[in-house]
Amino acid sequence: MTNSQGKTVLVIGAARQGLALSRFLAARGARVVLNDRRPADELAAARATLGDVPVEWATGGHPLALLDG
């Protein structure tokens, strides 16, 4: 993706690669939605890793509604 500015990007999985990709895309102006099947209370370490990176979290499953934009 060469131009992320203003685009909405869904990243599936809040493990090492998902966190790195979320940070990369947010730094380039994308609106990042980070989805993970684990519930929010199990993702405290992942949230802390991202710190103040502007990411929207969708946790507890992979709802198809996330694909609607």
Please, how many CA atoms are within 13 Å of residue 59, restricted to the half-sphere of its CB?
14
Q: What is the mean pLDDT of the chain?
A: 94
> 26 lies in a domain?
yes
Measured CA to CA, the distance from residue 69 to residue 61 in angstroms comes to 17
CB 33 within 8 A of CB 56: yes
Domain with 22 in it: what CATH number?
Answer: 3.40.50.720
Domain that holds residue 44: 8-61
> 67 lies in a domain?
no
Is the predicted pLDDT of residue 4 greater than 90, yes or no?
Answer: no
Q: The pTM is what?
A: 0.89
State percent of the chain over pLDDT 90: 83
Distance between the two ends of the chain, CA-based, in angstroms? 17
Tens-digit pLDDT profile for residues 35-45 = 999 999 999 99
Total domains in the chain come to 1
* pLDDT given for residue 1 in this prediction: 53
Q: Which of 23, 30, 22 is nearest to 5 (CA)?
A: 30
